[in-house]
Structure 1
């Protein structure tokens, strides 16, 4: 979620976590706010929504959890949330829900690159596990371009992006429109996706409304880097025709798997 006022994110996070508590989930809020703000939020969540289970709500600070200047390890962070989800289930909750103001974790180019990679990895984990999360990004601090690099890695976001490249049950999904104006952004998104070397990749493109040949070349290069056959599933006529007309080594089209 992109926001322009921290209070806006706090309000959305409160509603998101309250909904999780109503579903029987354990909830966690990672805040960039002051210790007083964190204490007030925990008191409200417990007092109003979970007065009988103190372990239903965990509130942490970004600074206290990660420190200053931390570059997130996607593998370690996914493992940490997987362990926390398992612990929540063992404690009798239906799963785990997290709201985090991630702004302090993406202020440098290295942080942004690492966190965008992590976003794809955690989305992949969420598909098959009772874990959900909402991350907040302050546009005033990060700028619209940085927010777009993160937003395009999710199926849903309030930040407008021309395309979405995200984890899906089929493997990966690509939706929206891709032309030369977003080629650099698209290339970054592809490079931030971990693919198994040599294993075929299915990409659901049912929601892809427009793509030019430059983007198809980028997909072919992705396949080349991983020595992996890339199959575009459920393509529209335009996508299928472009692929058929190009001499590609690693990209092909196919029906629903």
Structure 2
């Protein structure tokens, strides 16, 4: 479920895989309805024209009043994104940041989006760029009143492709990914890391590290790994390799004792482990 930030409304950035389109539509309605109840403006993005999308929301009757007063918006995925091309991660984040500011200026508490992004990640280049975007927009959401549910068709894309996207979200459907590398609003920390890093993520973990573009942060790359439950030596090697290639020092702040012992055992450089309570 989405996490609660402070005393405000429940927010989250959720990766929602589905095998039937109706399954995502139903989950999107629930997600958006929670936003309406919290005073947010909500946006539904999916394939189809405006009339089709409005009809999908109106099946339960929860959105009629919101549609009339401008609290509920719909948009074809082709209008919100440029389908068939590779997304510009920074440019897309700027668009959502502007929409969030517009919602706040109109008196809403924030912006909540439910978007079926399946058509935007069909090629390897699209998948790579969109995974980068997912992490970048999560950084924005960690510090601003925006929430999102991102839908992906598991049957069309496959579990492996969706895992590459799910690991860039703080929350995902069950079994989507063993770990989450996502945005963090804490001072001096560029990302948060949760879950488990074992042999199952030998390919996925280095890929996520690279796509998160943590090297863009000045100085140390500090990662809040307080919710990390396990880290094997190969995963730590991947962090050391990342640090060496980008001439950076990565600081892992974790409750685990194993990473610190492994650092001493293998004499790895470019990585520092700091304990947290």
- TM-score bracket, normalised by the shorter chain, equals over 0.9
**Conserved? CA contact 1:235–1:253, under 8 Å:** no
Instruction: Structure 1 unaligned segments of length 5 or more: list them.
Output: none
Aligned pairs for 1:92-171 (under 5 A) are 92-160=107-175, 161-169=177-185, 170-171=189-190
Which stretches of structure 1, 4 residues or more, deviate above 6 A after TM superposition? Answer: none
- Matching residue of 2:205: 186
Distance 1:67-1:198 versus aligned 2 partners, 3 A rule = closer
Q: Indicate the RMSD between aligned Cα atoms, in angstroms.
A: 1.9
CA distance in 2, matches of 1:98, 1:233: 31
- SS across alignment from 1:192: helix
Alignment match of 1:50 (pick from 56, 66, 85): 66
- Asked if 1 retains the 8 angstrom alpha-carbon contact of 2:18 and 2:154, the reply is yes
1:24 equivalent in alignment to 2:57: no
For the residues of structure 1 that align with 2:264 and 2:77, how far apart are their CA atoms?
48
- For the Cα contact (< 8 Å) 2:33–2:63, is it kept in 1? no
Q: Contact conserved, 1:2 with 1:159, CA < 8 A, in 2? A: no
TM-score of the pair, normalised by structure 2: 0.86
Residues of 1 paired with 2:195 and 2:263: CA distance? 17
Structure 2, unaligned stretches of length 5 or more?
1-15
Equivalent position SS for 2:171:
coil
- What TM-score comes out, normalization by structure 1 length? 0.92
1:198 Cα deviation after fit: 5.1
Distance 2:136 2:128 in 1: 13
1:37 shift after superposition: 2.4
Q: Is the 8 A contact 2:250 2:271 kept in 1?
A: yes
Aligned length: 255
1:216 aligns with 2:236: yes
Q: Is the CA contact 1:231–1:253 (under 8 Å) kept in the aligned structure 2?
A: yes
